[in-house]
């Protein structure tokens, strides 16, 4: 079987302007038009968005409501740098740093929320999660 890759997932948002500002300014996403709506692109992967004024077809059998997502992003530096970045944007860190295992192995993560309340995680592999055993 040929290797498949993850391309995108879908989140629901309740306010386009707040969402655009957050994902662009805090997480560095490129905000791109996607049909009648928008997507947040991170390199070669993206979050497609369902939001106000859209009636997308097809949708999941039980679509996630705004605030119902849990998404992890890889931070390119140390977790301390990630914490400083979020704090500089006035973002409350809900948990962390904590050691986690993820797609690339051991890392350290911090957790926070987007404007709708979805749980977001920044994981740093910079120190390999060496601060404490997993």
The percent of the chain in helix, strand and coil, each rounded to the nearest 5, is 15, 40, 45
Q: How many helices (H) and strands (E) does the chain have?
A: 2, 8
Give yes or no: 74 in active site. Answer: no
3-state secondary structure of 41: strand
Q: How far apart are CA 24 and CA 30, in angstroms?
A: 6
Nearest to 72 by CA among 49, 31, 104: 104
Active site residues: 121
């Amino acid at each position: 079987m040929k290797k498949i890759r993850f391309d995108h997932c879908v989140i629901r948002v309740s306010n386009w302007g707040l969402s655009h500002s957050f994902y662009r300014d805090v997480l560095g996403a490129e905000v791109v038009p996607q049909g009648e709506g928008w997507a947040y692109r991170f390199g070669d992967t993206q979050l497609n968005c369902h939001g106000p004024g859209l009636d997308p077809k097809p949708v999941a059998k039980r679509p996630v409501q705004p605030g119902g997502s849990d998404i992890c992003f890889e931070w390119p530096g140390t977790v301390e740098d990630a914490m400083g970045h979020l704090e500089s944007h006035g973002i409350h860190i809900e948990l962390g740093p904590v050691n986690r295992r993820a797609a690339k192995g051991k890392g350290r993560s911090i957790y926070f929320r987007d404007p709708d309340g979805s749980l977001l995680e920044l994981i740093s592999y910079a120190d390999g999660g060496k601060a404490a055993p997993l």
